[in-house]
Copies of this chain bind each other. A is one copy, B any other.
């Protein structure tokens, strides 16, 4: 079973720490998604295989880090003004688990592709698949 859906690896954190830590994880992942977009998709920056692998490793490490433990009870926007997590997240645990697993699987696949020195187009294609898993979660569980 993926670490993304397993038991917490640390003692339960308070609500503020959970929100800050998950936002940090996503900011770090987004920065690395941006590198892949710039180099493999847009071509705005010269393609660098080593940097693409480092970025894919970073995204996969976030996706497989057990983020679920940072989405504990009381961490949605109905009780906090510094998060966009919809309260519906807690009403749909199966869907929440599904989007987390999809993110982990597609990010791990991107990591494997980058580790095998794939061509730019293959990295770009799998980047798109990872992006869809981000969007799926945002669509369902993140407020505008």
Instruction: Specify which chain B residues have a CB less than 8 angstroms from the CB of A35 in the assembled complex.
Output: 9-10
Contact, CB under 8 Å: B31 / A28: no
Q: Is the CB of A48 within 8 A of B9?
A: yes
- Of the listed stretches A61-69, A77-85, A93-101, A119-127, chain B binds A61-69
From B6, B20, B51, contact of A66 by CB (8 A)? B51
Contact B62 A58 (CB under 8 A): yes
Q: Is the CB of B9 within 8 A of A44?
A: no
The digit string for A9-52, where 1 denotes a CB below 8 A from any CB of B, is 11100000000110111011001101100110000110010110
The listed residue (B8, B31, B57) touching A64 by CB distance below 8 A is B57
- Using CB atoms, name the residue of chain B closest to A23: B24
